Structure 1
Amino acid sequence: METKAFLIEELKKIEKWELEQKDLWFWERLGRLPFKILDKLTPAFIHKKVGQLLDEIGGYIQTGGQYLVQEQKILCKFAENDITPPLEQIKHFPLKTMDRVCDEIIQSRVTFARYQGATTGVGGIFTLAIDIPALLGLALKTLQEVAIAYGYNPKEKRERIFIIKCLQFSFADIVGKKAILEQLTAFNDEHQQVFSQLQGWREVMMTLRDQYSWKKLFQLIPIVGIIFGAMFNKSMIENIAEAGKMLYRKRRILEKLSEMKNSV
């Protein structure tokens, strides 16, 4: 049985992580500088691909689109005595069990991202048109699986909104991270303010494009892009998965603490 003291201690660890996220790394700033120059050198079809992704993200928020995952595969990881629990029961599992399943998901997705980045790095900058949608799809699927690991249903529109906020958080600068954390604090209260800021998914795609600035630079040379593609994709999915885990974990801890308080 989880104690209140244990949950509070785990919550403090997440809050410490949140404070660390508010410090923008120097190289992250530097990495954005060459984007304006490199952007002019980028083939038009890549710009078109980014534009298409904007529409896809809009569709994802509304319906889940092509990015919905098979939740049964995740639920099987919670099976006891060959009995797979329904998603509604996952929230009652111990936090350590949720963490174990989440970590398994992250490890699998990060490994896949590394191989995906290496594969799309073969052709240099021109294969970036394939890499961008593939990486976005992997990011969304990873966050949906993390949501399931902590007992949340990504088929619900409010959870898809939360997932987009997780994406925003992982790409945002110090000001953006602070603002998103404030929005997510009110998320469980279902404040309309959170739902009214859906245009943030456009910011996600623009920031994602900025993040590719260094990758574009190195992918100008085919084959060399294999190394940097693998490193970049692995790092990006690691950061996105970490943000998803921490933010969903925090929600679950707060809900468990609230249940304890109400049961007294």
Structure 2
Amino acid sequence: MSSATDHEASARELPPGLWDRLRLDPVRAPEHIALAAGRTFAPQAASWAAGKRSRYAVSPLELATMAKKRHATLARFEGAATGVGGIVTMVPDLAALAWIQARLVFYVAAAYGYDPHDQMRPAELLVLHDFYPDPQTARRALDGIGATVVQSYVGSKLQRDEALALRLAKLLGMKSARMLAGRMIPGVAIAFNAIGNERRTRALADRAIRFYGG
């Protein structure tokens, strides 16, 4: 992609094939997202950080704060857009939020001078989500996925969607039914998603800033 507009579009839309992989292999959805994020966002993050540094005298924290603000806004707008459908659009909303937050982590890493292309970045993404206890464990899990074919989930479409929703909710730190309830009601979910998505994205940004900024 060559323009900032194209990059922003890729933050809101899952890349071709990823949605199918998530539906087919919902149990390993977080790992599929992390690997796809590395392929998609590493070049963007590197280009973004280099471009900002070439035009402005900015500190790593200032760059990271720019990334935090932009991705919090993206998450808010995405949540409002998918909140119209309530439960019908809940799974796409969770997937889109996870995708936006993945981009955020790569941008914060680049802001602090870490190579976005490094194979540990996707692993660190999962650790920042508290999905794995440490980057080494996360990396081994990612390597295992890369060495195997996608595992088809045995079950109906409804069961697959439920499994995917629960896995994405766990990745995003939504550990109770109450945290998902507001996303199921059409209309009400517009405000619920918008506010919740922005708040969670800002919190993830703060964790990433502490992690990469020391």
- Relative to the length of structure 1, the TM-score reads 0.54
1:122 paired with 2:109, answer: no
Deviation of 1:142 (Å): 0.2
Matched positions, count: 172
Please give the secondary structure, in 1, of the residue aligned with 2:129: helix
C-alpha change, 1:210 and 1:243, in structure 2 (3 Å) is: closer
C-alpha change, 1:205 and 1:129, in structure 2 (3 Å) is: closer
Q: Which residue of the partner structure matches residue 50 of structure 2?
A: 75
Q: Which residue of the partner structure matches residue 38 of structure 2?
A: 64
C-alpha change, 1:73 and 1:136, in structure 2 (3 Å) is: same
User: For residues 50 and 221 of structure 1, what CA distance do their matches in structure 2 show?
Assistant: 26
User: For residues 37 and 189 of structure 2, what CA distance do their matches in structure 1 show?
Assistant: 35
User: For residues 207 and 100 of structure 1, what CA distance do their matches in structure 2 show?
Assistant: 30
Counterpart AA for 1:101: L
Deviation of 1:215 (Å): 4.4
User: For residues 134 and 50 of structure 1, what CA distance do their matches in structure 2 show?
Assistant: 17
Task: Give the share of equivalent positions with the same residue, in percent.
Answer: 22
Counterpart AA for 1:208: L
CA RMSD of aligned residues (A): 3.6
Counterpart AA for 1:135: L
Counterpart AA for 1:234: E
Deviation of 1:117 (Å): 0.6
Runs of 4+ in 1 over 6 A off after TM superposition: none
Q: Aligned runs of 1:112-191 on 2, under 5 Å?
A: 112-168=74-130, 180=133, 183=134
Q: Which residue of the partner structure matches residue 11 of structure 2?
A: none
Deviation of 1:196 (Å): 4.6
Please give the secondary structure, in 2, of the residue aligned with 1:122: helix
Are the equivalent residues in 1 in contact too, given 2:101–2:204 (CA < 8 A)? yes
Bigger Cα Rg = 1
C-alpha change, 1:239 and 1:59, in structure 2 (3 Å) is: closer
Q: Which residue of the partner structure matches residue 211 of structure 1?
A: 174
Q: Which residue of the partner structure matches residue 229 of structure 1?
A: 193
Q: Which moved more, 1:66-75 or 1:128-137?
A: 66-75
Counterpart AA for 2:213: R
C-alpha change, 1:226 and 1:215, in structure 2 (3 Å) is: farther
Unaligned runs of at least 5 residues, structure 2: 1-21, 146-165
Q: Which residue of the partner structure matches residue 205 of structure 2?
A: 241
Are the equivalent residues in 2 in contact too, given 1:63–1:157 (CA < 8 A)? no
Please give the secondary structure, in 2, of the residue aligned with 1:211: coil
Deviation of 1:136 (Å): 0.9
Q: Which residue of the partner structure matches residue 71 of structure 2?
A: 109
Query: For residues 156-197 of structure 1, what are the alpha-carbon distances to aligned partners after superposition, in whole Å with 9 as ceiling and x for unaligned?
Result: 1122222221122xxx7xxx8xxx4xx47xxxxxxx667556
Please give the secondary structure, in 1, of the residue aligned with 2:114: coil
C-alpha change, 1:156 and 1:111, in structure 2 (3 Å) is: same
Deviation of 1:110 (Å): 0.4
User: For residues 206 and 65 of structure 1, what CA distance do their matches in structure 2 show?
Assistant: 23
User: For residues 100 and 216 of structure 1, what CA distance do their matches in structure 2 show?
Assistant: 33
Are the equivalent residues in 2 in contact too, given 1:215–1:232 (CA < 8 A)? no
Q: Aligned runs of 1:186-205 on 2, under 5 Å?
A: 195-196=139-140, 205=168
